Structure 1
Amino acid sequence: MLRRKGNLQSLAGFLEIPQDIVLDLPRITMLGNKQLLVENHKGIIEYTPSLVRIKLNQGELFVTGEGLILGNLQAEQILVEGMVREVKYDI
């Protein structure tokens, strides 16, 4: 499995394709501590105003904070807005 992943990374570099696409990785973008955009997710596991758990291809993403709301919710991306205190990637 690791060898295949290494081959895919090499191929992505050679073809100048972003690795997140080839390796099915999430892309996580933060704007300060006010917004968090998660692309290439597999769904929402749990949602409260203080915790959002997002399923990823490998593991989960935990977002903790205050007043968290789901802004733009689409099949491939989630926008979490509010006061983000911590982001944890658990494999």
Structure 2
Amino acid sequence: MQHKFKSLHEKNKQTSNKTLYSSMEKNKKKEEAARRSFLETLSDQLKLPADMLVGAPIVTAMGRNEVCIENYKGILEYNDTFIKILSKIGTIRIEGKNLNISYFTNDEMRITGLVSAITYITQKE
């Protein structure tokens, strides 16, 4: 009499991968939380805003005719009615009329025109 054995190798492999990846995700989240609290402590001691240390964008509106954005990553879309800018915290959308990027460097840009709205679209966590 011959018995057939069904291999559980694939099932065990999938289970162990799920366990491995979930523990890696937990460790990553703990590291991020520790890093944030470290940055908050550091910013308190140095008397600096936490946003500055983390690299969050700094958006300065001067009236309705000029916006300065610092710490951005890139320009996603650009025309005379809206400009979408990528940052570490998500997308910044500037809406208005006759919008123009007067100048930009690797970390700063100046937008001119009649600004009607500044919208922040945060990344999903």
* Secondary structure of residue in 1 paired with 2:41: helix
Could you tell me which of 74, 82, 88 is aligned with 1:51? Answer: 82
Amino acid in the other structure paired with 1:28? V
Unpaired stretches in structure 1, ≥5 consecutive residues: none
In structure 1, the residue matched to 2:101 is 70
Match of 1:84 in 2: 115
Contact 1:9 1:23 in 2 (8 A): no
Quick one: percent identity of the two aligned structures? 25
Normalising by structure 2, we get a TM-score of 0.68
SS state at 1:22 partner = helix
* 1:13 partner amino acid: D
Structure 2's unaligned 5+ residue stretches are 1-31
- Aligned residue for 1:11, secondary structure, equals helix
Aligned pair count reads 91
Rounded Cα–Cα distance in structure 1 between residues aligned with 2:103 and 2:51: 21
Work out which structure has the larger RCO, using CA pairs closer than 8 Å and 6 or more positions apart in sequence: 1
Query: Does residue 1:21 correspond to 2:21, yes or no?
Result: no
| 2: CA distance, partners of 1:86 / 1:2 | 33
Contact 1:51/1:64 (8 A) holds in 2: yes
Larger Rg belongs to: 2
CA RMSD of aligned residues (A): 1.2
Contact 1:46 1:53 in 2 (8 A): yes
Q: Give the strand-richer structure, 1 or 2.
A: 1
